[in-house]
């Protein structure tokens, strides 16, 4: 049963409860309150649609570097913040893209680029998909699936105000999942 089917069923059940008495209406109301708790709406196949705003689950004020910074600066920030990606800003502080630890290792260093002198400019991913802080967690999941990405910047007025990762979403929506367990664990040193 789809989302609209679920709402229709809830509505019909509520109407039937109103006709058959207060007890049925109270029971249905409790089930509706439970289904809609924490912004989760019943979806299809027993799954839920998380309609919380992404600002509720994102990592606020992530680290950022400029396009003119070196790969070493990007890697150093990743190490300091214990993250696998850094947002890239242009000279005006507007979001220009993202660079990942894989970009540094595979796209640059493995090809012989000197991390001390090579700037982020030619290495980072320019064409990225972002979210508004009011977009839903469900929208983030849809975009991650559509674009085959694990991280999405949260952008307001052209500036990055946060980032959300697949791990963040797993921790928030399926805290007992293996991915959530891995994402919330302390990194190995």
- The three-state (H, E, C) secondary structure of the chain, written as one string: CCHHHHHHHHHHHHHHHHHHCHHHHHHHHHHHHHHCHHHEEECCCCCEEECCEHHHCCEECCCEEECCCEHHHHHHHHHHHCCCEEEEECCCCCEEEEEEHHHHHHHHHHHCCCCCCCEHHHCCECCCCCECCCCEHHHHHHHHHHHCCCEEEEEECCEEEEEEEHHHHHHHHCCCCHHHHHHHCCCCC
pLDDT at res. 26: 53
Helices 137-147 and 166-173: crossing angle in degrees, nearest 10, is 140
pLDDT given at position 152:
93
Cut 0.85: pTM above it: no
Identify which has the larger pLDDT, 20 or 155. 155
Residue 77's alpha-carbon distances to 33, 115, 130, in angstroms, are 44, 13, 21
Distance CA(21)–CA(158), nearest Å, equals 54
- In contact, 143 and 129? CB cutoff 8 Å: yes
pLDDT recorded at residue 61? 79
pLDDT digits (tens, 9 = 90+) for 54-72: 999 888 877 899 999 999 9
Confidence (pLDDT) at 92: 92
Residue range 54-184, CATH number: 3.10.580.10
Report the mean per-residue pLDDT for the chain.
76
CA atoms within 13 A on the CB side of 31: 15
CA distances, 138 to each of 31, 60, 122 (Å): 22, 19, 33
Query: In the chain, what are the domain boundaries?
Result: 3-50, 54-184
């Amino acid at each position: 049963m789809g989302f609209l089917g679920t709402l229709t069923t809830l509505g019909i059940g509520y109407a039937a409860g109103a006709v058959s008495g207060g007890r049925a209406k109270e029971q249905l109301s409790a089930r509706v309150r439970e289904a809609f708790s924490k912004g989760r709406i019943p979806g299809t196949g027993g799954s839920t649609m998380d309609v919380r705003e992404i600002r509720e689950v994102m990592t606020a004020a992530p680290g950022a570097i400029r396009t003119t910074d070196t790969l070493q600066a990007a890697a150093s920030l990743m190490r300091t913040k214990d993250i696998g990606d850094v947002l890239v800003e242009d000279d005006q502080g507007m979001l220009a893209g993202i660079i990942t630890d894989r970009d540094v290792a595979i796209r640059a260093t493995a090809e012989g680029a000197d991390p001390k002198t090579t700037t982020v400019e030619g290495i980072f991913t320019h064409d990225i998909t972002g979210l508004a802080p009011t977009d839903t967690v469900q929208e983030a999941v849809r975009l991650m699936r559509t674009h085959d990405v694990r991280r999405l910047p949260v952008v307001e007025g052209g500036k990055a105000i946060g980032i959300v990762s697949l791990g963040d979403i797993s921790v928030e929506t399926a805290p007992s999942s293996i991915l959530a367990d891995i994402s919330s664990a302390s990194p190995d040193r």
